[in-house]
Structure 1
Amino acid sequence: MDEPRPLDERGVTRRGSLLRLGGLAAGVVGAVGWAHERAEASGRSGSGPAAVAAGLVTCVLSPEQTEGPFFTENDRIRRDVRDGRPGVPLSLRAGVLDVSTCKPIPGALVDIWHCDAGGTYSGFAQEGTAGARFLRGIQRTDRNGVAIFRTIYPGWYPGRTVHIHVRVYVGGDIVHTGQLYFPDALTDAVFRRVPYSRRPARTTRNPSDALYRNGGSRSLLKLTRNVTGYAARITMGVQLR
């Protein structure tokens, strides 16, 4: 099970709404999820088989994970999803590639959503946030296959480690559903800061989270400090058929 609250069983396609949002033509896409890491050595670049042979690119199978009970339809296309919610600033660079070629996919839609610093999701009456859309949004990948979001470091709630939900669409179809995770040591440091420090110590860490134990280590974000907070990056791959 994903969340401690009852799961909301939903359909597996958003073709109609996403075609309206993104203007994408419908396509036939495989539902295999992958993760990708690109070496960022100074003065080196490339993609495809040659880059794989040179050690610049590796493609690694990434586990599919449940969307959870707090997915919503028709998220807005926007880069800044904060809507004024307090928390440590987080810049998220989410890449998408074709795993058969290790080349980036421009024009894919990346949809993210996560809880705020207090562990609350937007858009649900049971959370007291009906009508709100904070910490939700969609971005289209650029010519390098990268979508960039401005958000905050997520908080926690009972039964789950800290995470961000993500979906990737190509041609209007879902090609990956996953969750992105944070190193526990870094989360400990962040949670010593306000507003996170106003809450009790979190109850679930990565090793004790049932979903994280099912491949979550392959969906860990790579994080670095920046001027205002943290920068996170990950690249997810899909197999097009």
Structure 2
Amino acid sequence: MTDTSDARKIGRRTVLAAAGGAAAALTVGAAAPPKDPGGTRNAAAVCTLTTEMTQGPYYLDGALVRADLTEGKPGIPLKLALTVVDAACAPLPGALVELWHADALGEYSGFVGANGHQEPDDRTFLRGGVLTGSGGVARFTTIYPGWYRGRCVHIHVKVHTGVTVTPDGHFTGGSTVHTGQLFFDETVTAAVAKVSPYSTNTVPRTTLAQDSVYDDRGARSGLLTLTALGGSASSGYTGTLTLGVAD
């Protein structure tokens, strides 16, 4: 079960990515970089650019708009705060951040069985989207992803603008302005892998360094900043990242 079969890059747009809060300056096309309050460019806070990443084969249209993606799936708690900024590094409110990822045993809803673990596949676990607030932040409750053959632990992400939320809680329409992936520190993943139910996943685990998609550029490539919620891996983590999007 690998999404490297879709090796084609998605479009030619670029995104900005920096861990933590929104970065302060960027030049995109003819746009002039913002200045700091003193009127001089803050060179240390320039947004970094990265290309988009493969969507992979496990995307499903029409995800629910919801902050809690778990649907009762067991796993280590993961709280995500993803900040979306525009080409001028200003927070982008009203954008829909969509996530989808594998469960602890490496299975995606809609494709259960591809990693060898059978169960009824009429659920939408670990899929959903959240509209950013006035500060450009989308917050999610989910679980730490598991792994499947050929890929390191990751979460898929899309950012959409101009969407409509339907009466039944799905989203439709709009434009996709970013397709990428979120990645995890290998030391943290190694600790998570020792905890049940992750420890029952018998598929050989591809490390971050071995992955064919992650290009080892840290936050520029979607590497989350992780903070432990307690004294052990089972307590869970928070993950933060700033995603800047540009057409």
Regarding TM over 0.5, the answer is yes
Query: What is aligned with 1:156?
Result: 147
Distance of 1:148 and 1:194 partners within structure 2: 25
Aligned-partner Cα distance in 2 for 1:122–1:170: 25
Q: 1:56 to 1:109 in 2, by over 3 A?
A: farther
After superposition, give the CA deviation of every residue in 1:80-131 in whole Å (9 maximum; x if it has no partner). Answer: 00001111000011111013x2111000000000000000000136545532
Asked whether 1:225 is paired with 2:207, we answer no
Residue 39 of structure 1: how far off its partner (Å) = 5.6
Q: 1:134 aligns with which of 115, 125, 128?
A: 125
**Structure 1, gaps ≥5 residues long:** 13-29
| Partners of 1:57 and 1:102 within 8 A in 2 | no
Contact 1:49 1:102 in 2 (8 A): no
Q: Aligned partners of 1:55, 1:226: CA distance in 2, in Å?
A: 33
Q: Any conservation in 1 of the 2:219–2:241 contact (CA below 8 Å)? A: no
- Pick one of 162, 166, 177 that aligns with 2:157: 166
Contact 2:19-2:225 within 8 A present in 1 as well: no
Q: TM-score, normalised by structure 1?
A: 0.79
Q: Which amino acid aligns with 1:192?
A: K
Tell me how far 1:202 sits from its aligned partner: 3.8
Residue 150 of structure 2 contacts residue 211 of structure 2 at CA under 8 Å; is this kept in 1? yes
The one-letter code of the counterpart of 1:224 is T
Aligned position for 1:197: 199
Q: CA deviation at 1:31?
A: 3.1
> Is 2:211 the partner of 1:209?
yes
Identity %: 40
State the match for 1:75 in structure 2: 63
Amino acid at match of 2:105: G
- Tell me the secondary structure at the aligned position of residue 189 of structure 1: helix
* Mapped contact 1:31–1:174 kept (Cα < 8 A): no
Partner of 1:112: 99
Q: CA separation in 2, counterparts of 1:202 and 1:93? A: 30
SS in 1 for 2:53: coil
Could you tell me whether the CA contact under 8 Å between 1:63 and 1:215 is conserved in 2?
no
Distance 1:39 1:233 in 2: 8
What is the CA deviation profile of residues 179-199 of structure 1, one whole-angstrom value per residue up to 9, with x for unaligned ones?
110010110011111111123
Q: For residues 8 and 78 of structure 1, do their structure 2 counterparts lie closer, same or farther at Cα, with a shift above 3 Å needed?
A: farther
Match of 2:3 in 1: 3
- 1 or 2, which has the higher helix percentage? 1
**Which residue does 1:36 correspond to in 2?**
18
Cα-to-partner distance string for 1:154-184 (whole Å, 9 max, x where unaligned): 0011100000000001221011100110010
Aligned partner letter, 2:144: Y
Contact kept? 1:206, 1:213, Cα under 8 Å: no
* SS class of match (1:186): helix
CA shift at 1:50, angstroms? 1.8
